[in-house]
Structure 1
Amino acid sequence: MSTLLPTSVSSALTPGTYIYGLLHTPTSITTISSDDCIRHLDATTLSLLPDGLIQNAHRSVTCLEPISASAETYATAGRDGLVKFWDRRTGKSGMGIESPNNTPLSALACSPDGRAVVAGTELEKDGPGDAPVFVWDTRNPNVPVLLLPDSHTDTITTLSFHPSHPHILLSGSTDSLVNVFDTRKPDEEEALYQVINHSSAIHHAGFLNETDIYALGTDETLSFYQLQSEDDSVVEPAPKALGDVREGMGLEYVVKVMEVGGEACVVGGSHSSQYLDLIPLRRPTGDLPLNWAYDVGERVRLPGGHGEEIVRDVYSDAPSRTTYTGGEDGSVRAWKLADADEMDVSEGDGLQSKKAKKEKNRDKEERRKHKEKKKERFKPY
Structure 2
Amino acid sequence: MEREAVSAGSINCRDWVLKLCSLDKHGLVSGLSNGKIDVIPFGQTEKHTEINAHGGAVNSVRKVDENSFCSCSNDGIVKIWDLRSPEGNNCVAAMEGVNNLPFVSLDARDTLVGAGTELKGDSHLFIWDRRRLSVPFKQFTECHQDDITEVRFHPTRRNMLLSGSTDGYVNVYDLKAEKEEDALLQVINFASVHSANFLPNDKLYTLSHMETFSVHSLIDTTTEESVESDPVDYGDIRDKWSCEYVVDLYAPGYICCGSNSTKQLRLYQFDPEKVAFDGLSTNSDYISLPGAHGDDIVRDMVIHHGVIYTGGEDGLVKIWNVSGNMLGDTSSRFFGQEAGSKSHHHHKHTQKKPIKAIEAEDGHIHHSKRHKGQDGSAKPRHHHHNHHHHHSHKSSRFMPYSRE
TM-score between both structures, scaled by the size of structure 2:
0.76
Out of 21-30 and 32-41, give the one that drifted further.
Answer: 21-30
The aligned counterpart of 2:115 is 119
The aligned counterpart of 2:298 is 311
How many Å apart are 1:210 and its aligned residue? 4.6
The aligned counterpart of 2:327 is 345
Q: Is the 8 A contact 1:162 1:210 kept in 2?
A: no
**Residue 137, structure 1, aligned to residue 122, structure 2:** no
Are residues 80 and 236 of structure 1, via their aligned partners in 2, closer, same or farther at CA, if it must alter by over 3 Å? same
How many Å apart are 1:281 and its aligned residue? 2.9
- The 5-angstrom pairing of residues 213-232 of structure 1 reads 213-230=204-221, 231-232=223-224
How many Å apart are 1:43 and its aligned residue? 1.2
Cα deviation digits, residues 66-123 of structure 1 (max 9, x gap): 111x2x2011111222111111233411111111333221111112x2x211111112
Residue 266 of structure 1, aligned match among 250, 255, 266:
255
How many Å apart are 1:283 and its aligned residue? 4.2
**Residue 203, structure 1, aligned to residue 194, structure 2:** yes
The aligned counterpart of 1:20 is 18
How many Å apart are 1:235 and its aligned residue? 4.8
The separation in 2 between residues aligned to 1:291 and 1:281, in whole angstroms, is: 8
Out of 56-65 and 325-334, give the one that drifted further.
Answer: 56-65
The separation in 1 between residues aligned to 2:278 and 2:269, in whole angstroms, is: 8
The separation in 2 between residues aligned to 1:45 and 1:211, in whole angstroms, is: 40
The separation in 2 between residues aligned to 1:139 and 1:121, in whole angstroms, is: 22
Residue 313 of structure 2, aligned match among 311, 328, 336:
328
Greater share of helix? 1
Out of 250-259 and 137-146, give the one that drifted further.
Answer: 137-146
- The 5-angstrom pairing of residues 62-73 of structure 1 reads 62-68=59-65, 70=66, 72-73=67-68
How many Å apart are 1:282 and its aligned residue? 3.5
The separation in 2 between residues aligned to 1:116 and 1:284, in whole angstroms, is: 27
How many Å apart are 1:284 and its aligned residue? 5.6
The aligned counterpart of 1:359 is none
Are residues 284 and 30 of structure 1, via their aligned partners in 2, closer, same or farther at CA, if it must alter by over 3 Å? closer
Structure (1 or 2) with the larger CA radius of gyration: 1
**Residue 36, structure 1, aligned to residue 35, structure 2:** yes
The aligned counterpart of 2:233 is 241
Q: Is the 8 A contact 1:313 1:327 kept in 2?
A: yes
The separation in 2 between residues aligned to 1:251 and 1:179, in whole angstroms, is: 28
Q: Is the 8 A contact 2:27 2:40 kept in 1?
A: yes
- The 5-angstrom pairing of residues 295-306 of structure 1 reads 295-296=280-281, 297-306=284-293
Are residues 344 and 38 of structure 1, via their aligned partners in 2, closer, same or farther at CA, if it must alter by over 3 Å? closer
Please give the secondary structure, in 2, of the residue aligned with 1:190.
Answer: helix
The separation in 1 between residues aligned to 2:235 and 2:130, in whole angstroms, is: 39
Greater share of strand? 1
Out of 74-83 and 166-175, give the one that drifted further.
Answer: 74-83
The separation in 1 between residues aligned to 2:235 and 2:297, in whole angstroms, is: 22
Same amino acid, percent of matched pairs = 31
The separation in 2 between residues aligned to 1:65 and 1:119, in whole angstroms, is: 11
The aligned counterpart of 1:372 is none
Please give the secondary structure, in 2, of the residue aligned with 1:303.
Answer: coil
The separation in 1 between residues aligned to 2:170 and 2:42, in whole angstroms, is: 35
Q: Is the 8 A contact 2:152 2:161 kept in 1?
A: yes
The aligned counterpart of 1:4 is 5
Are residues 294 and 97 of structure 1, via their aligned partners in 2, closer, same or farther at CA, if it must alter by over 3 Å? farther
Cα deviation digits, residues 29-88 of structure 1 (max 9, x gap): 111111111111121123333xx11125333322211111x2x20111112221111112
Cα deviation digits, residues 173-214 of structure 1 (max 9, x gap): 00010000011111111111100011x200000012251100
Letter in 2 for 1:271: N
Please give the secondary structure, in 1, of the residue aligned with 2:321.
Answer: strand
How many Å apart are 1:159 and its aligned residue? 0.4
Are residues 345 and 300 of structure 1, via their aligned partners in 2, closer, same or farther at CA, if it must alter by over 3 Å? same
Letter in 2 for 1:216: L
- The 5-angstrom pairing of residues 42-57 of structure 1 reads 42-49=41-48, 52-57=49-54
The aligned counterpart of 1:279 is 268
Letter in 2 for 1:324: Y
Question: Structure 1: where are the runs of 5+ without partners?
Answer: 352-381
The separation in 2 between residues aligned to 1:84 and 1:312, in whole angstroms, is: 21
Are residues 179 and 6 of structure 1, via their aligned partners in 2, closer, same or farther at CA, if it must alter by over 3 Å? same
Please give the secondary structure, in 2, of the residue aligned with 1:6.
Answer: strand
How many Å apart are 1:237 and its aligned residue? 3.2
Are residues 242 and 85 of structure 1, via their aligned partners in 2, closer, same or farther at CA, if it must alter by over 3 Å? same
The aligned counterpart of 1:357 is none
**Residue 184, structure 1, aligned to residue 185, structure 2:** no
The separation in 1 between residues aligned to 2:203 and 2:150, in whole angstroms, is: 16
Q: Size of the alignment, in residue pairs?
A: 324
Q: Is the 8 A contact 2:199 2:272 kept in 1?
A: no
Cα deviation digits, residues 319-350 of structure 1 (max 9, x gap): x211110001101011111xx23x343579x9
